[in-house]
Homo-oligomer: A and B are copies of this chain.
Amino acid sequence: MTTGYDPRAFPPFAVTVDLALFTIRNGVFTVLLVERGGEPFAGAWALPGGFLLESEDAATAARRELAEETGVDVAAAGVHLEQLGTYSAPDRDPRMRVVSVAHVALAPDLPEPQAGTDAARARWWPVGELAPGRSDQGPQLAFDHALILADAVDRVAAKLEYSTLATRFVPPTFTLGELQAVYEAVWAVPLDRANFRRKVLSADDMVRPDGGDPRLTAGRGRPAALYRAGRATTLNPPLLRPAP
């Protein structure tokens, strides 16, 4: 962008957005995939996504695709959406030159998705079954989506350390046990309950007690106090993953 060259003289690209939408279902870290209807990669599973329109930026396109393919209104449902990165290998789409701006989205547990107009079918897949180097389970992903997904998983795992994003995986009102289950599912490690509690409660404004008196809810064993997400977005001090 440094010269007076006419951009119309330069090669045209198609620009898409791809979405890695994560949630926790029954304590399992899962991602939404859609089954492709047409070529290339017909029948393969892929991240949801679509083409950028003339009038919108990438974030807007990502929100639109999310709504179209899952029926989720990002603004309403407290879904977190952020840009992950752009994938631009020349041969990533066999048809022509397509550059994709990948995004990561986090949502609390959603109902089984309604396939939109675009996707033939959509379903949630446990992230663990799609791990790289595991051809035993899970599908092969279309395009470079295995790479995008791996980067997205890394991003989410890293962000839990120094942000309050874990609260986006739980309902508006939640227990500390549920919040801990998010960390354990994403990081795939067990955490000490007492220490987790101490860190979350001493962190800046990550969670607040729900209502005046902490109400109690049922379950198995002693009922747990309920909390809501605080206003902080960055987590001070951070909640670091245990060393392997």
Contact = CB atoms under 8 A, between A and B. Distances in A.
Copies in the complex: 2
Chain B CB count within 10 A is highest, among A12, A15, A55, A96, for: A15
Given A52-B11, A88-B52, A38 B100 contact: no
A85 interface: yes
Chain B CB count within 10 A is highest, among A36, A49, A51, A83, for: A51
Interface stretch (A2-10, A173-181, A185-193, A220-228): A2-10
A1 interface: yes
Instruction: Give the interface size class of chain A.
Output: 35 or more
Contacts of A48: 2
A28 interface: no
Contacts of A8: 14, 95-96
A93 B14 contact: no
Interface of A: 1-8, 10-16, 18, 34, 36-39, 42, 46-58, 69, 83, 85-86, 88-90, 93, 95-101, 118-119, 142-143, 145
